[in-house]
Amino acid sequence: MSKAKRIDVVQALRALAATVVVLGHGQGSANLAQLSPSRVVTFQTGWGVDLFFLISGFIIVHASKALLLTDQPRFQFFSRRVARVLPLYWGVTLFYVIITTANGGLHYSWQAIAASFLFFPYDGIEAANGLAFPIYNLGWTLNYEMFFYLVFALCLTLGQKRAAGAAIIVMLLLVMIGLVIDIQPTALRFWTQPILLEFCMGMGLALLHERGWHIPVAGRIILPILAIIAIAFQPFVSLMPPIDGTTPNSFVRVLAWGLPMAGVVAAAVLGRPGETIRGFSFARPLGDASYSLYLLHPLMIIVLWRMPILKTWLAETHTATFLVILLLSSSILSIASFRLFEKPMAKAVTYILDRLNAASRQTNNRPLDNKRMNEQA
């Protein structure tokens, strides 16, 4: 695959993952609106997050090679991850805190607010259930993402392949510890869940890609078909009953959703060197905006159901109609958010962090004055 086409197909998978999450939450919202049974649609969409984690594992390893040419690969990697993730999530979280408090809803402790902004798993918000949701619920995936970024950043000076291998070992050990020890602190329990293995699978696929491994064309066709069958029939779904509507991040989830999605990602990225995959460039704008789509679509759900005329009409229509409206409106909003907010803010934050880092290095490398030099002598 050429680099451009490889990016296109991966971006298409990101667009797919975000779209699935939107449809899942939209479906739940429509069902809660008590539409008549004939108008209710039910299909499984939880695997969208698992696909996100696999893609993240692959992209982080694949993109880290260029950072090794810099003199500060750890800083360059982590600062750019922060610049990419932090502005939009902080903005959405702050907005959510303001509107829920203003409407007489939940009142959050300073610990819960701080934990949410710092991507720290904390189970101190109202209706705590052990799942360690941040104030803006969708941020639970970002708590995993930032933890993964931190682990990988700490290993990055070992080189691309060794860094990925070391990160995989660290996460495997964490999952094993969580398996054999009954961990009580919420954060430690959160960071030892088997769902971490999905990042490992993504990193593993990146290493195979770097080594030039490829899957025959027939295999790349069969793997997505098998994934569709596994998701459609859900042989393991009865083994992972949801907690407060949320699927546990257990081994069963990794087996039921992580492995099928690993097959999909493998089919997308493990082609022959120089091979091109055509027909996915149309999905690139939504793939670029997939982060905004993931974070902003709940706000669009609220807007749609708060519009009196639209609410009355939606209550009389089929769930599928609502999902189409939700997906279209959320996609437009997310693409605008990516171009007008995400990209400019990422550049601004990167610039600020680079300037602060340069100033810090200049201060630390400043020559000793004569007095201090004499004292050392």
- The answer on pLDDT for 278 being more than 50 is yes
Question: pLDDT tens digit string along 49-93?
Answer: 999 999 999 999 988 877 776 778 888 899 999 999 999 999 999
Torsion (CA) 198, 209, 213, 274 in degrees, nearest 10: 140
Written as six digits, the tokens of 271 are 């082609």
Closest CA to 161 of 227, 208, 197: 208
> 209-218: buried (b, 16+ CB within 10 Å) or exposed (e) per residue?
beeeebbeee
Per-residue model confidence (pLDDT) at position 323 = 87
Map out the domains of the chain as residue ranges: 1-45+279-377, 73-257
- The answer on pLDDT for 216 being more than 70 is yes
- The answer on pLDDT for 345 being more than 80 is yes
- The answer on pLDDT for 354 being more than 80 is yes
Closest CA to 192 of 210, 205, 179, 211: 179
- The answer on pLDDT for 105 being more than 70 is no
Written as six digits, the tokens of 349 are 């934050």
Per-residue model confidence (pLDDT) at position 147 = 96
For the beta carbon of residue 96, count every other beta carbon within 10 angstroms: 22
- The answer on pLDDT for 134 being more than 70 is yes
Written as six digits, the tokens of 2 are 């050429």
Torsion (CA) 94, 130, 182, 145 in degrees, nearest 10: -30
Per-residue model confidence (pLDDT) at position 367 = 54
As a whole number, mean pLDDT of residues 294-305 equals: 91
Q: How far apart are CA 280 and CA 5, in angstroms?
A: 8
- The answer on pLDDT for 276 being more than 80 is no
3-state secondary structure of 122: coil
CA dist list (Å): 296 to 114, 144, 237, 327, 366: 21, 19, 28, 11, 46
With bands split at pLDDT 50, 70 and 90, how would you rate the model's confidence at 373? very low
As a whole number, mean pLDDT of residues 148-173 equals: 93
Per-residue model confidence (pLDDT) at position 4 = 38
Instruction: Give the range among 17-26, 124-133, 227-236 with minimum mean pLDDT.
Output: 124-133
Please name the residues in contact with 310: beta carbons below 8 A apart, sequence gap of 6 or more.
304
243, β-bridge pairs: 246
The percent of residues above 70 in pLDDT, for the chain, comes to 82
Instruction: Give the range among 106-115, 168-177, 325-334 with minimum mean pLDDT.
Output: 106-115
User: How much is the mean pLDDT over the chain?
Assistant: 84
With bands split at pLDDT 50, 70 and 90, how would you rate the model's confidence at 131? low
Per-residue model confidence (pLDDT) at position 106 = 64
